[in-house]
A and B are shown apart, each in its own frame.
Chain A
Amino acid sequence: MRAAEDRLLLGCLRLAGAAAGSIVLLIVAYLLAEALPALQALGPLRWIRDASWHPAGGAGAGRFNLSPMLIGTAAAATGAVLLATPLSIASALFCRFYAPRRLGGGYRRLVQLLAGLPSVVFGFWGLVVLTPLIGRWQPPGQSLLAGILILTLMILPTISLLAESALAAVPRAYGQAAAAMGLTRWATIRQVMLPAAITGLSSAILLGAARAIGETMAVLMVTGNVVRTPASLLDPVRTLTANIALELGYALELHRSALFVSGLLLMGMVALLVGISEALRPEERHG
């Protein structure tokens, strides 16, 4: 009886696991299949060597340089992660170790609300409030900086909530030992809690970075979308995601396939991030 139940459960779990895995594989296969015509027609180098991005002319007259958008995506995501990480970890530490119980609970609700806010709302706010503000200082306002700030706001709750649960998973005994040794709260956090939670914290940052790379709508609304490698924070940029969203509606043949190449690039960037965090993960300790 027991054994039969266990076998059934095992079967279901295997099925679910296989389904999840094959969905990822199918998406990659589809992206590859759609990107293949462009990759075959243009080779590996024209994506970075062409003079510009004017993909409508076919293999001969068209120009297919993706690097300004690749740089745009990387710059926006990096900036957002650099800004959001310290803020989010500070927020998680406040919530976990410093806030009185009631205040901490209310604060957590607010952060959860921020995490659930639709990205178009962030974009809308960025468009009507943030970019004019930057524009008054340095026109036109629609810029890499605006993209970074909006992305920071968007990934802040993601990193903060995940960081807090990583801190909550640190065994109580460590905190007790630290208190019994007469360590101050800050020493306990810095020497014991943060090192103990480092794996969870780095995956929190990683997921925030992946969200920043993948975010489309809000970024599209505030960055100006000019295809040009940005020379400063105040230049307009176009990200890979925004490029797909802007052009897929009318793209044909090679142009359409080229957009799938940029999709493949995005997937590759996220895979790289996962690989890096996997490599940084300390070996499992036993005992």
Chain B
Amino acid sequence: MSLPLRPQPCLEVRQLSVSYDRRCVIDAVSTVMHRSRITAIVGPSGCGKSTFLSCLNRLSDLTPGCRLSGSIRLDGDDILSARTDLIRLRRRVGAIAQRPNPFPLSIRRNITMPLEHHGLRHRDRREAVLERVLRRVGLWREVRGRLDQPALALSGGQQQRLCLARALALEPEVLLLDEPCSALDPVASGVVEDLIASLRGATTQVIVTHNLAQARRLADDLIVFWTDEGRGTIVEQGPADAVFTSPQSAITAAYLSGSRG
């Protein structure tokens, strides 16, 4: 893998605050996620990590009563602006949920249906993408003979890889991963983790994880969230090596060494 020498900003978050029904859950956080790198977000439960992630593709819009302020720039465009085309945004920023959530369709339709809706008219080209992304996530040999069977009959790990393939089929610039391994068994978890690592350099990835060892293995950059009376804030951020070896804040040091959080 070859990373650019000087990391370029991809997502720039400035003074982002989030509230649910007027209750503030994220308080004025600012950070930058760099192109083609893996940014891991860690922190204790309930500190707003997943909420933060859901703002990056505006999936937060689906939660009634959720209000955002501040700005999030994706390649310079403020995605919180009312004029943002959400369909286009979500095509550029893909997302993987904690629990695998394939559509209740066949394995094939899970990949080809969204492609069709994003304007890929030729059936042959859709089939080509289908094979390419299923190979990319290592599912092709496992499912090539039963592409028309229901995706929900796959194992949890296979479902999560299918979701990853479904997201990759749209060739997103950014991939958001919300604890993508936490609902999987250790072997399946390892497979998915290797996939994420293999996408380094190709896609900008932002991963929320509870697993510090995983964060240490995957992250190029690290963001540590903490909660201050229910308000999520960022206590520390920077290149992962630096944060892990010499954390600046006492909270981070205690959390990363496993004695808190």
Q: Give A contacts to B, CB under 8 Å.
A: 101, 173-184, 187, 191-192, 195-196, 285-287
Contacts and interface: CB of A to CB of B under 8 A. Distances in A.
Given A176-B97, A177-B97, A184-B117, A287 B154 contact: yes
A192 to B, nearest CB: 5
Nearest to A177: B101
A195 B104 contact: yes
Nearest to B90: A182
Given A178-B103, A182-B90, 7 more contacts: A176-B59, A177-B101, A179-B62, A183-B87, A184-B87, A192-B103, A196-B103
Contact of B90 (A174, A180, A187, A287): A180
A181 B90 contact: yes
A260 to B, nearest CB: 45
Interface string B130-159: 000000000000000000001011110001
Nearest to A287: B152
B57 interface: yes
Nearest to B155: A287
Contacts of A180: 57, 59, 90, 94-95, 97, 167
Interface residues of B, number: 34
B89 A182 contact: yes
B93 to A, nearest CB: 9
Contacts of A181: 90, 94, 114, 166-167, 170
A195 B104 CA distance: 8
A287 B159 CA distance: 10
Contacts of B210: none
Given A180-B94, A285-B152, A285-B153, A192 B117 contact: no
B99 interface: yes
Q: Is the interface of A mostly helix, strand, loop or mixed?
A: helix
A208 B205 CA distance: 50
B161 interface: no
Given A179-B90, A182-B86, A191-B113, A287 B153 contact: yes
Contacts of B167: 180-181
A187 B117 contact: yes
Contacts of B95: 180
28 contacts: A173-B99, A175-B62, A176-B62, A177-B102, A177-B103, A179-B59, A179-B90, A180-B95, A181-B90, A181-B94, A181-B166, A182-B90, A182-B118, A182-B170, A183-B87, A184-B117, A187-B117, A191-B105, A191-B109, A191-B117, A192-B103, A195-B104, A196-B103, A196-B104, A285-B104, A287-B153, A287-B154, A287-B159
B35 interface: no
B260 interface: no
B200 interface: no
A286 B87 CA distance: 32
B91 interface: yes
Interface in B59-73: 59, 62, 64
Contacts of A173: 97, 99, 101
A179 B117 CA distance: 12
Contacts of B114: 181-183
